[in-house]
Structure 1
Amino acid sequence: MSSKITIIGAGSVGATIAYTLSNEDIASNIVLIDINKQKVEGEVMDIAQGTCFRDPISIVAGEYEDAKGSDIVIITSGIARKPGQTRIELTQTNVNIMKSIAPQIVKAAPDALYIIVSNPVDIMTYVFTKISGLPENQIIGSGTILDTARLRCGLSEHFKVSQKNIHAYVFGEHGDTSFIPWTGAYISGVSINEYYELAKSLGKDVKELDKEAMLAYVQKSGGQIIANKGATFYAVSKAVCKLCGIVLASSDSVATVSSMMHGEYGIEDVCLSTLTLVGPNGIQGKVPMRMNQKEIEQLKKSADALKEVIAQINLD
């Protein structure tokens, strides 16, 4: 596939995204940009020296102007979350970084689709949407794609079934107010509860699902990984590369990405994750998913929590 992807930020996440992309047939040109010139050059050299084992690919350390002609720009810049620190505590520092990056990269690549990965990702997506001047369809927050992947991993381990057979999602903020709309969660075409009964009838040794424990697993995984090894970057990189593949494909796909809400579920002027149609033209619109009233209220609670943070940040 002949496409150009620029990554802003060569920290653990940005560099791992570049490495993961270099191992897949998603991009033929990768540009990695970081304020730390020495580090970005080292990352590119390390990655490039492994590309002899694949079809030719160009990967370079560049400046903002080198992003010209990019199909996708991925923004990962920001201060990393420290052990015990919430994503929201990072907010103003990373907002300021985003404000310095946006005009420079948008000038170089005004037609690219932008994938925002920097945390807190819903706030960063909102900020970029407000200050970039780009059409909203070009701006995609990575949102709860990673949370959804964690959910499917947990359900797969619990029910001993392939993740490919699981259609369950995490909605809301990528953070503490996220939730699982179980009303729309299915395994092989049947609801979670029905699948449990089916598995038992087939003689499988499965336990009834503790849904609260599963949500805790999803929400606490990132913090646990950070406590154990200092950062999370493998799974989020795979999730972002999957998203790159989606937007470079010939048709649309449904994903839990973060984008601006315009009255869906009664929510306005905030970015969070619900089922969204995404494809080569970016965000195509929200896909209404069946949810009960409690789940809709949980989504509104998540939106309100994000709005409280937005009200406290300086966008000027």
Structure 2
Amino acid sequence: MSVPSTEIESHAKSIKVAIVGAGSVGVTTAYALLLSHLAAEIVLIDIDKNRALGEVMDLSHAAHFAHAKVSVGEYENCAGATAVIITAGVNQKPGQTRMDLVKTNYGLFEQIVPQIAKHAPNTILIVATNPCDVLTKAAYELSGFPVQRVIGSGTAMDTTRFRHELGKHYGVNPRNVHAVIVGEHGDSQLPVWSLASIAGMRLEDYCKQKGIAYDEDAMDALSKRTREAAYEIIQRKGKTNYGVASVLVSILEPIITNADQLVTVSRVGDYAGVEGVALSMPCKLNSKGAHQDVELLLNEKEKEALRRSATSIKECFDTVAKRE
């Protein structure tokens, strides 16, 4: 449930958010954040200052209606930010996996994250750059922040896509579908079928009550569309930006409003017997960051799939961080 606009605006009076990266995701996030009325000040940071200035000039015309200040900044302007969102990095190209980006973007994080931590030691880091899980672990180690204050956007986007697909299949509003994608924001992501429900009923029970067949082939195709959605969008338009920007704002909202909202985001922890890896699980988001209060109740098949996902992410991180 969204927080009432009057409550959001009361929180926003003292809120500053910095976005590192003035590419399509960073700028679309700035625009979505501007229209959300969640922040009083938005700072855009990019190595290409001329481009960033052009984006800020354009955004400032929208700010006329949203009553927020938008500016170009340096890393020192992260000081006092409630959250810093990192979208900077090489974008995924047609035919690439998110993991293909890891070496370049890890090297970039080695430059970016210590600067943010130096100037904004109390902020919450939100990582959107891919591969999101590997870079969430990198940001955690490079920042020295407590684990709850380094959050990857993770499978929040995949969960949104999953609910959209399920809602379309069953003819209900996606907001009435309770289902999550966990694990990697990538090819080894895991749809948690055992807990997916509509109207308080597991999917098979919902189908029985509705008098329709539970179609496993349709569910497999649906989860494949969810997993491959970004690839298809990138193949067609070269990038994804609107969905992820909206998800980043949805992650910010419970942090800014201290809402204790459950969102599937990436956080460093121990999962399925794999230690010290970042992947997505439902986390409670509030002003102190992301908290994992209750372990998700998975069946044995799902636990094994989660272990494989966690192992894949950890191996990738260890390789790029030269811990082979």
Among candidates 301, 308, 311, match of residue 315 of structure 2: 308
Q: In the aligned structure 1, how far is the partner of 2:305 from the partner of 2:321?
A: 27
User: Which deviates more, 127-136 or 168-177?
Assistant: 127-136
Q: Note if 1:200 corresponds to 2:207.
A: no
Per the alignment, residue 219 of structure 2 pairs with: 211
Among candidates 283, 296, 309, match of residue 303 of structure 2: 296
Per the alignment, residue 86 of structure 2 pairs with: 75
1:67 counterpart letter in structure 2: C
Deviation, 1:87, is: 0.8
User: Which deviates more, 94-103 or 264-273?
Assistant: 264-273
Structure 2 counterparts to residues 226-237 of structure 1, below 5 A: 226-237=234-245
Q: In the aligned structure 1, how far is the partner of 2:177 from the partner of 2:252?
A: 21
Per the alignment, residue 6 of structure 2 pairs with: none
Aligned length in residues: 310
Q: In the aligned structure 1, how far is the partner of 2:187 from the partner of 2:146?
A: 29
Among candidates 110, 119, 144, match of residue 99 of structure 1: 110
User: Which deviates more, 184-193 or 118-127?
Assistant: 184-193
Per the alignment, residue 17 of structure 1 pairs with: 29
Among candidates 141, 150, 156, match of residue 161 of structure 2: 150
Structure 2 counterparts to residues 1-316 of structure 1, below 5 A: 1-2=12-13, 3-54=15-66, 56-200=67-211, 208=215, 210-262=218-270, 264-314=271-321
Deviation, 1:286, is: 4.4
What's the % identity of the aligned pairs?
36
Kindly report structure 1 stretches of 4+ aligned residues shifted beyond 4 Å: none
Over the residues paired in the alignment, what is the CA RMSD in angstroms?
1.5
2:285 counterpart letter in structure 1: V
CA deviations over 1:206-249 (Å, ceiling 9, x no partner): 87352211110111100000000010000000000000001112
TM-score between both structures, scaled by the size of structure 2: 0.92
Deviation, 1:53, is: 2.4
Deviation, 1:133, is: 1.1
Unpaired segments ≥5 residues, structure 2: 1-11
1:247 counterpart letter in structure 2: I
Secondary structure of the 1:118 match is: coil
Unpaired segments ≥5 residues, structure 1: none
Deviation, 1:147, is: 0.3
CA contact (8 A) 2:63 2:70 kept: no
Deviation, 1:315, is: 6.0
1:26 counterpart letter in structure 2: L
Deviation, 1:311, is: 2.3
Structure 1 residues 207 and 47: alpha-carbon distance in aligned structure 2, compared to 1, 3 A threshold: farther
1:227 counterpart letter in structure 2: Q
Q: In the aligned structure 1, how far is the partner of 2:137 from the partner of 2:131?
A: 10
Q: In the aligned structure 2, how far is the partner of 1:267 from the partner of 1:281?
A: 25
CA deviations over 1:71-103 (Å, ceiling 9, x no partner): 010001100011001111110100000000011
Secondary structure of the 2:181 match is: coil
Deviation, 1:284, is: 2.1
Secondary structure of the 1:311 match is: helix
Per the alignment, residue 8 of structure 2 pairs with: none
Structure 1 residues 199 and 211: alpha-carbon distance in aligned structure 2, compared to 1, 3 A threshold: same
Deviation, 1:305, is: 0.8
Structure 1 residues 286 and 306: alpha-carbon distance in aligned structure 2, compared to 1, 3 A threshold: farther
Secondary structure of the 2:104 match is: helix
CA contact (8 A) 1:173 1:302 kept: yes
CA contact (8 A) 1:252 1:278 kept: yes
CA contact (8 A) 1:275 1:286 kept: no
Deviation, 1:253, is: 1.3
Secondary structure of the 1:277 match is: strand
Deviation, 1:179, is: 1.2
Q: In the aligned structure 2, how far is the partner of 1:21 from the partner of 1:175?
A: 25
TM-score between both structures, scaled by the size of structure 1: 0.95
Q: In the aligned structure 2, how far is the partner of 1:93 from the partner of 1:133?
A: 21
Q: In the aligned structure 2, how far is the partner of 1:311 from the partner of 1:207?
A: 41
1:198 counterpart letter in structure 2: Q
Secondary structure of the 1:148 match is: helix
2:26 counterpart letter in structure 1: G
Secondary structure of the 2:190 match is: coil
Q: In the aligned structure 1, how far is the partner of 2:228 from the partner of 2:291?
A: 31
